Structure 1
Amino acid sequence: MDQISDAGASKYTIPVIDRMMDVLDQLERRPNGATIRELTALLSLPRTTIYRIVNTLQGHDMVRRDDTGAYHLGRRLLSLASHVVAGVSEVDLAALAQPFLDKLSAEIGEGSKLSVIDQDGILVLAAAQGRRQYALTVAPGQRMPIHAGAASKLLLAHLPPEEMAAWLAKPLIAYTPKSLTDPKRLMTELTRIKRLGWAQDRGENAPSIQAFAAPVRDRTGRVVAALSIPYLAGAEASRMEEIRLAAIDAARAISEAMPA
């Protein structure tokens, strides 16, 4: 028999890996991380079991521990995710983009990030911190709304029609009065983004945060990621234009660095 039936599949699973995946699932749901005590309570497992799992995962950079003792998803997962969501197994997008993000944030003074889209929505794959006062902090591993934000809209705009329609058929949450929750209005915005070649967040995810995003393309021209620069609302028009052009230039530079 070439295939194992679903009914008998459980006979061939490894319980410790199942528990490890349960730990990762809980950490994915908690942006602020979770302590061993919290994971023990959430999963109803012995403390020693949880400790051994997170200690092993930490050794492989699959999770990391912060100064408060909380565990978070690790950078190794981002590297793995870049191969899956980008569909380009030869390219580690996070590693490729990081020097460009660092240079961009050092020059523009604002934080910058690289986002991708997968079956769960928008994932921040890599980020760099800005040096200006009040520069916004961004972090790899964050999940963002599919329809609210510059990078989110840009990635949504470049999906195949059937995939885009599937996302637009889901409930669209209004995070602020600027959020586009009507599928027809959002579709009009997505069409405009494809025509312009960049996207703008006017405070759709948080009232005080705006952003510009530009596409990162592989050598075939397919959009594989979005580079975005978030900034505080209230910036002067000249500053906004500076940020927009910087995002476009940096995204183009990463695209040109993609291997053939």
Structure 2
Amino acid sequence: MSKTLHHGLLILRVLSEHPQGLTVSELADAVGVHRTVAHRLVRTLEAHQLCRRDHQRRIVLGTGLVSLAEPVQQDLRALARPILDELAETTRATAHLLVREGATRMRALMVVEPRGALVHVSFRPGQTHSIERGSGGIALLAHGPYREGERPAVTEARARGYAVTTGEVIPAVTGISAAVPPRGGTAAVSIGISVFEYTGLDELGTTVVRAATALGELLG
């Protein structure tokens, strides 16, 4: 294993967990290298637009990571599209695909609105919110082991197999989401629906879990 590459990748991972940025000294301490080594690594990553310095000269992730991630997201969107289409039509609700962004945020990667529904929730892809709020993030947290002090909603979602929240991302809107089972490691993608009101929660939850499982099998 290349120690230099290993440390460079560790820097990117550490930065993903600190969206406010870190100094070179803080990065050196986090990765366990001398400040001079951290400085060289940062300069190399900057040259490839993988990190940059903000107005306070703190190191943050760079836009080059977007172009690297785009092909993966395109594959994910292509695989998820027919599943989201079917979910939206089956439930007559807005279906969404959310991805974990760093340690604390969720981003809406895809939003599919039902055709022909008289009333449905509408929001744009790209919106972000805390992983601790909304059914998509709760579903991912519930996929992991119990955490001391976790929200009751996470514990309930773990037992139920899907998460339900109301008014946490959009006022008066209920979200029902399930984690997409990963091939290995921690779940980072969730599928869900957003509704103004619902009946038959168990049936909706089962349908959402079925859609998440189907996408997991395609990704695996």
What SS class does the counterpart of residue 180 from structure 2 fall into? strand
How far apart are 1:209 and its partner, in Å? Answer: 0.3
Matched, 1:213 2:174: no
**Which residue type is aligned with residue 105 of structure 1?**
A
- Once the two structures are superposed, the pairs formed by residues 190-209 of structure 1 within 5 Å of their partners are 190-209=154-173
What SS class does the counterpart of residue 209 from structure 2 fall into? helix
Q: Which residue of 2 aligns with 1:123?
A: 107
Q: Give yes or no for contact 1:203–1:209 (8 Å, CA) kept in 2.
A: yes
Q: Give yes or no for contact 1:215–1:251 (8 Å, CA) kept in 2.
A: yes
Q: Give yes or no for contact 2:165–2:175 (8 Å, CA) kept in 1.
A: yes
Mark the CA change 1:125 to 1:79 in structure 2 (over 3 Å): closer, same or farther: farther
Q: Which residue of 2 aligns with 1:36?
A: none
Q: Give yes or no for contact 1:129–1:138 (8 Å, CA) kept in 2.
A: no
Q: Which residue of 1 aligns with 2:59?
A: none
Q: Which residue of 1 aligns with 2:37?
A: 5
Matched, 1:141 2:126: yes
**TM-score for the superposition, normalised by structure 2:** 0.62
Mark the CA change 1:141 to 1:159 in structure 2 (over 3 Å): closer, same or farther: farther
How far apart are 1:79 and its partner, in Å? Answer: 4.5
Give the whole-Å Cα distance in 2 for the aligned partners of 1:218 and 1:248.
Answer: 14
CA deviations 1:44-81 (Å, max 9, x no partner) are xxxxxxxxxxxxx9xxx96xxxxxxxxxxxxx85544x
Give the whole-Å Cα distance in 1 for the aligned partners of 2:173 and 2:38.
Answer: 47
Matched, 1:244 2:205: yes
Q: Give yes or no for contact 2:104–2:132 (8 Å, CA) kept in 1.
A: no
How far apart are 1:143 and its partner, in Å? Answer: 0.8
What SS class does the counterpart of residue 97 from structure 2 fall into? strand
Gaps of 5+ in 1: 23-56, 63-75, 83-90, 166-182
- Once the two structures are superposed, the pairs formed by residues 144-183 of structure 1 within 5 Å of their partners are 144-159=129-144, 183=149
The number of residue pairs the alignment matches comes to: 176
Q: Give yes or no for contact 2:104–2:130 (8 Å, CA) kept in 1.
A: no
What SS class does the counterpart of residue 223 from structure 1 fall into? coil
Give the whole-Å Cα distance in 1 for the aligned partners of 2:87 and 2:211.
Answer: 7
| Aligned Cα root-mean-square deviation (Å) | 3.7
CA deviations 1:206-234 (Å, max 9, x no partner) are 3310011122113458634211100113x
Q: Give yes or no for contact 2:140–2:178 (8 Å, CA) kept in 1.
A: no
Q: Percent identity?
A: 23
CA deviations 1:2-57 (Å, max 9, x no partner) are 966345667667689599997xxxxxxxxxxxxxxxxxxxxxxxxxxxxxxxxxx9
Gaps of 5+ in 2: 5-35, 55-63
Give the whole-Å Cα distance in 2 for the aligned partners of 1:219 and 1:225.
Answer: 12
Mark the CA change 1:201 to 1:20 in structure 2 (over 3 Å): closer, same or farther: same
Matched, 1:98 2:81: yes
What SS class does the counterpart of residue 5 from structure 1 fall into? helix
Q: Give yes or no for contact 2:153–2:164 (8 Å, CA) kept in 1.
A: no
Give the whole-Å Cα distance in 2 for the aligned partners of 1:116 and 1:18.
Answer: 20
Q: Give yes or no for contact 1:218–1:224 (8 Å, CA) kept in 2.
A: yes
Give the whole-Å Cα distance in 2 for the aligned partners of 1:153 and 1:13.
Answer: 33
